[in-house]
Structure 1
Amino acid sequence: MTSIVDDRSLIQHTGWGYFPVAFVARLPFAMMVVGVLTLVASATGSVALAGLTSGVVGVGVVVAGPIIGDLVDRHGQRAVLVPVGLANGILLALFPVVVLAGMPEPLMLVAAALIGLSAPQAAALSRTRLVAIARDRVHGARRERTLSRVMSYESAADETAFVIGPVLVGVLAAFLAPWAPIAVAAALSFAFVTAFALHPTAALADGDPAVPTERAPWSAVLSRPVRILAAATFGVGLFFGSTLTSLTAFAQSAGDGEMAGLLYGLMGVGSAALALTVMLLPARFSLRARWLVFGGVLVASAAGYALSRDLPAVIVMLCLMGLGVGPTLVTLFSLAGQRSPVGRSASVMTLLGSSLTLAQALSSAVTGALAEATSAQVAMALPLVASVLVLALGVANAAQTRRRRR
């Protein structure tokens, strides 16, 4: 991209209208795993099959995510996102037909896989777009501060989307029909993913296609520092998936399975709020230290969730879990922005996003099977395992950073 640095702020480059469009474009992605889980569980009565089906969505996302990121790095966001968003809208619209028509389970799983393969990576690409604009067009005196705010905002927007997504699923499923969330996600994919792809900021981030762009090899994307971040994001995905599915099992055992999305949304309230405040933390509170501190909060609250026996205790622990997971996610993506090789920002961001979604879906499948084979209470211990993994990787990251400094 050609650098055109000036004194204007990031918002003056993007315009205020960019942010609502980019936010709503995330919702189909945030709704699809929970929506598939809710629809299949309601239609079949099987939490295990619902978890498996949502797991297949995640497998599709992780297979397609790095490919989409590489294509975007090569051809730009507009050329890739427009066909992907349209295809995803069509496949989401067809999925309730497949499920409610009582078609065979293998066909249901194929349909779920296609949804994942066509999932629009709006969150990762919005982050990539804003980082590119900040680096290449914002004046050096304010660039670092702007980049920090971008990472905080984007992670808070992700968290808020992952709050609103499950809440929308819960409300639509409870008050309309279990197929309604998927239908709404399809409409949003058609309208807002396309609008996000065609927004003028895509041209700002992509630059002039006639100008050759330096691009690091894929081996740089898979370097050890990036792999640690991808593994930690995978751990956060395990946490999300096991929490959602164990919560679904808990709600079903209480006789109100459609409330799971609303309960899950409680975790995101504190998560999104604290993610936004990360930008206010002093620079001396390093990213390495933040990972350890907020990872510790996540472990402690997940332990409390595992020991909860009634709804009030579950609600309290979900709110506390949000205080740990939001800032941890901000920290991981901030480090990813620092460690992205030249010309590979979209590849790194989609790699992390795909790792999170794959883990969320796989843990949904495992947690659903465990809940059905044992009990909801046993399944509620799995978020603790995931949070311990995230903290352990934070320790590994700190050790590696110290070695590199020496």
Structure 2
Amino acid sequence: MSHIDLESAPADRPPSLLRSVGLGYFLIAFFARVPFAMMVVGVLTIVATARGSISAAGMSSAAVGVGTACFGALLGAAADRFGQRPVLIVVATANALLMVAFAAVVYSDAPDLAMYAVAFTVGATAPQVAPMSRARLVGMIDRITRPERRPRIVSSTMAYESAADETVFVLGPFVVGILAAGLAPWAPLVGAAVLTMAFVVAFALHPTARRARNTGHDSQLASPIRELFRARVLVIVIGIFGVGLFFGNTLTSLTSFMADRGAAESAGVMYGVMGIGSAIFALGVSILPARFTPRARWVVFAAVMLLGSTLVATADSIVTMVVALGLVGIGIGPTIVTQYSFGAAASPVGRSTTVMTMLGSGVIVGQSFGSALTGQIAETLGTPAALLLPALAAAVVLGSGIVNARLYRPVLR
């Protein structure tokens, strides 16, 4: 396990980190995440529109998630071994071409099975920008800061990264909706391909990629693969899978909720209520008192998620739903920050990018599975049944937080 002690008090990220990586890095890393956030929703949108089948759309988005689950962590391991730059350039090029190919297959006479196969490859080649950015920044913090300051800086950096993710996961579906409605159903995937070639490649070529290559990639220094399957790592992966599941369940059930009221196109705006609050409270983690430990934070804020999800399940008006989503936002942002901070602490030596990629893959896999499952339930059992699923996902997050607290009790005070 790494040396990071999560129980130290958080603080704002110092200027030295900004000077070390440059403001341009944060802008590039932010926009390079957008295609990843557009991918699942873009696939869902084009299939549902072009082939007129919600079931096929759900299966396609699930295939994207399966592809990410199978290869996301392997891409992280390759980056730990060979460096982020060559891995990102290869997968960015492949992913951009495959998104365009998927759009072509959807509009062709190819059978659904072929469409699912291409969707799988889209997920398999998805550039893991967010986890690789976290790994770069944690490595930079290790080099430029004194040991006693590292825990607080890592906590603040994870808060920023999580807020960026929250913003992107709200922005992504919104951009998909605008492009699909304003141009054509294929436009979101083509747009994502263009953004991938522009910003993911720029992220790969940024000087911080070379520095990441020089940190912990040497296979002779890296911990054995089996260290990735320790309970302390797996419980974090399960917890963040629950967050992704929650995203998928919430967006899809909210779409059904608004469709029942004749305003399905407004679901993204409603979803943004949760995302904006989540981003704000994620940044607020840096000012929480030291006595409010990360073990407790995960449990408490996951409980807030569960409470808000209960209100979502019982909402009978748009006003009630807005209040419920606002409450959920209070809980979900700090929960994600805490999970990634534990991920940084639990990363075996030389495997930080792999662990961060496992966590990033957990989000997209959970979102894909949640969207597909909730869509099927909404179509067969109705909106009230679909609105129950976010609470189940929140229960997964809370349960894993409780297990995590017990696992870390002997180590973290």
Q: When the two structures are superposed, what TM-score results if normalisation uses the length of structure 2?
A: 0.92
Q: Tell me the residue number matched to 1:265.
A: 272
SS at match of 1:17: helix
Contact 1:152–1:278 (8 Å) recurs in 2: yes
- Mapped to 2, the partners of 1:99 and 1:342 lie a distance apart of 43
- Mapped to 2, the partners of 1:334 and 1:209 lie a distance apart of 18
Q: 148-157 or 394-403, which moves further after superposition?
A: 394-403
Rate the CA distance shift 1:222–1:84 in 2: closer, same or farther, 3 A. Answer: same
Q: Deviations over 1:322-362 (max 9, x none)?
A: 11111100000001111111000011111111122112111
SS at match of 1:9: helix
Q: Of residues 330, 334, 337 in structure 1, which corresponds to 2:344?
A: 337
Aligned length: 400
Q: Deviations over 1:215-252 (max 9, x none)?
A: 00111111111111011111111111111221222233
Q: Tell me the residue number matched to 1:174.
A: 181
Instruction: Give 1:336-355 correspondences, 5 Å limit.
Output: 336-355=343-362
Q: Tell me the residue number matched to 2:7.
A: none
Contact 2:69–2:361 (8 Å) recurs in 1: yes
Residues 1:97 and 2:104 aligned together? yes
Instruction: Give 1:1-400 correspondences, 5 Å limit.
Output: 9-140=16-147, 142-207=149-214, 214-400=221-407
- Mapped to 2, the partners of 1:209 and 1:369 lie a distance apart of 44
- Mapped to 1, the partners of 2:409 and 2:295 lie a distance apart of 10
Contact 1:170–1:262 (8 Å) recurs in 2: no
SS at match of 1:285: coil
- Mapped to 1, the partners of 2:15 and 2:378 lie a distance apart of 53
Structure 1: gaps (5+ residues): 1-6
- Mapped to 2, the partners of 1:251 and 1:144 lie a distance apart of 43
Rate the CA distance shift 1:210–1:271 in 2: closer, same or farther, 3 A. Answer: closer
- Mapped to 2, the partners of 1:32 and 1:250 lie a distance apart of 23
SS at match of 1:124: helix
Q: Tell me the residue number matched to 2:11.
A: none
Rate the CA distance shift 1:211–1:348 in 2: closer, same or farther, 3 A. Answer: closer
SS at match of 2:222: coil
- Mapped to 2, the partners of 1:173 and 1:326 lie a distance apart of 28
CA shift, 1:257, in A, is 3.5
Q: When the two structures are superposed, what TM-score results if normalisation uses the length of structure 1?
A: 0.93
Contact 1:66–1:351 (8 Å) recurs in 2: yes
**Counterpart amino acid of 1:187?**
V
**Counterpart amino acid of 2:41?**
V
Rate the CA distance shift 1:251–1:176 in 2: closer, same or farther, 3 A. Answer: farther
Rate the CA distance shift 1:247–1:8 in 2: closer, same or farther, 3 A. Answer: closer
**Counterpart amino acid of 2:246?**
F
Q: Stretches of 4+ moved more than 4 A in 1? A: 208-213, 403-406
Rate the CA distance shift 1:127–1:362 in 2: closer, same or farther, 3 A. Answer: same
Structure 2: gaps (5+ residues): 1-13
